[in-house]
Amino acid sequence: MTIPTSTDRSTGEPATDTAPHTGSTVASAADEQPISLTTTGGIDRASHHRLDEAWLAAAWSHPSTRVFVVSGGQALIEDKEDGTTELVMMPSFDAPFTEAHRYFLGIDEEGVRYFALQKDSLPGRMDDIARPAGLREAGPLLCDRDSELMVHAIGLENWQRTHRFCSRCGERTVIAAAGHIRRCPACGAEHYPRTDPAVIMLVTDDQDRALLGRQVHWPEGRFSTLAGFVEPGESIEAAVRREVAEEAGVAVGPVSYVASQPWPFPSSLMLGFMARATSPRIKVDGDEIEEARWFSRDDLRAAIETGEVLPPAGISIAARLVERWYGQPLPKPRRHD
């Protein structure tokens, strides 16, 4: 099964980010455009308040509450003088409030409540510095708190946008639970945000070489970890073995979980693994994966330094997995996409 990075898996609608549709099983999203793996940005989601309209109204009107607008997968970000980048937030009394599209995101350690407003467009730039950005740009720049808030809001927006009608009876649904439920007024069904688990794995052989593959349409030299969606009724460990077998023809034995990374394009959760091959024999599918190779650490370092290989970049989970095996940060690529 594939991991579409820019097309909604449930509807086939074009997603909001502009990356080309890959239809591929290599970690095209996670390796190129990282989002921090740190999902603990100090936000308590406080989900027990989501159905309490009186509490939500009081939280909304509190002067310390902060609000940001999301629209089409983007929010406004701002580079500060100290070199950091922040989400552009405002007090609720300055916010372009629309009751039907208010998402409650949680409370930070100082007691500040955060909301996102989903709008058809972002508000006008607040100054010369603020600019609209999607998660692919903003994710690596923002602090953990802002990154966590933005990922949550974009994930909700993606789901809300494509689940306006009841999957049971076809009636138009309405938003509830501060953005975390859609209810059907006709049949009473409640619909919850979906998260699609996907596995991403660094496979090694008995010589401790790493298996990296490249998609047919990738730039020349781009190699990364294999990845794919978990299927219904399948354990994540089984999904690791199936995907590696399908894409690279490699049989996998032991599988161990490493870390996860939210990837709301539109609704994936990347589950990172280390896996051990039982045989080094490679037979790529030739359809999604054009080439797969075993790299020793020396092989990979040399190939990166000569520009023959473009490795996974930045703080992505693919890069984390490769670096976990490599034992240190990867060499700087000689060239970039």
Least distance between Zn ion and beta carbon 174 (Å): 11
Binds Zn ion (CB under 5 A): choice among 105, 166, 203, 319: 166
Is residue 187 near Zn ion by the rule CB under 5 A? yes
Is the CB of 182 or the CB of 241 nearer to Zn ion? 182
Return the range that interacts with Zn ion (CB under 5 A); candidates 17-25, 53-61, 111-119, 159-167. Answer: 159-167
Is residue 190 near Zn ion by the rule CB under 5 A? no
Is residue 182 near Zn ion by the rule CB under 5 A? no
Is residue 135 near Zn ion by the rule CB under 5 A? no
Give the count of residues interacting with Zn ion (CB under 5 A).
8
Q: What is the dihedral of CA 299, 1, 282, 287, to 10 degrees?
A: -90
d(CA 13, CA 9): 8
Strand-pair category, 190-191 with 174-176:
unpaired
Q: Are 45 and 105 in contact (CB under 8 A)?
A: yes
Least distance between Zn ion and beta carbon 183 (Å): 9
Is residue 171 near Zn ion by the rule CB under 5 A? yes
Q: What is the largest CA-CA distance in the chain?
A: 63
Nearest to 136 by CA among 6, 9, 39, 48: 6
Q: What is the DSSP string of 18-70?
A: -SPP--BSB-HHHHHS---S---SS-B--GGGTT-HHHHHHHHHSTT-EEEEE
Return the range that interacts with Zn ion (CB under 5 A); candidates 102-110, 143-151, 179-187, 230-238. Answer: 179-187
Binds Zn ion (CB under 5 A): choice among 169, 190, 231, 251: 169
Binds Zn ion (CB under 5 A): choice among 67, 122, 175, 184: 184
Would you state the structure tokens that stand for residue 281, as one six-digit string? Answer: 């024999």
Chain residues in the site for Zn ion (CB under 5 A) = 166, 168-169, 171, 184, 186-187, 189
